[in-house]
Amino acid sequence: MPFGLCNAPATFERLMETVLRGQTSEDCLVYLDDFIIVGRTFEEHLNNLRKVFQRLQKANLKLSLKKCRFFQKEVAYLGHVISAEGVQTDPEKIEGVVN
């Protein structure tokens, strides 16, 4: 679906909500085509990955492996840095304001 169409983002977001219905926000965060899949342990993380991958496969949706990052301890997501320590504003996003 070309995201240039005016209703494409909303339509895609509804599709993702339908495909991932039942996944809790503690397991999987989704904004359009950006996903964060988490787990408290490595095994839980693998299980959550498996569940999301199965749902995407069932819906015939594909991932771009070159855009995927697996088993990260810290990620930049929607202007924030998320890690085990919590959520912080991405320093790159505030650099222009501070300097």
Q: 35-47 pLDDT, tens per residue?
A: 889 888 999 999 9
Amino acid code (one letter) for 54: Q
pLDDT beyond 60 at 50 = yes
pLDDT beyond 70 at 63 = yes
Q: Which two tokens stand for residue 87?
A: 């959520």
Name the pLDDT band for 5 (thresholds 50, 70, 90). Answer: low
Q: Which two tokens stand for residue 27?
A: 């397991």
Indicate whether 43 and 77 sit together in one domain: no
Indicate whether 74 and 54 sit together in one domain: no
Give the predicted TM-score (pTM) of the model. 0.73
Q: How many domains does the chain have?
A: 2
The domain in which residue 82 lies consists of: 69-98
Indicate whether 39 and 58 sit together in one domain: yes
pLDDT beyond 80 at 1 = no
Indicate whether 3 and 51 sit together in one domain: yes
Proportion of the chain above pLDDT 90, given as a percent: 25
Q: Which two tokens stand for residue 41?
A: 């342990």
Indicate whether 53 and 73 sit together in one domain: no
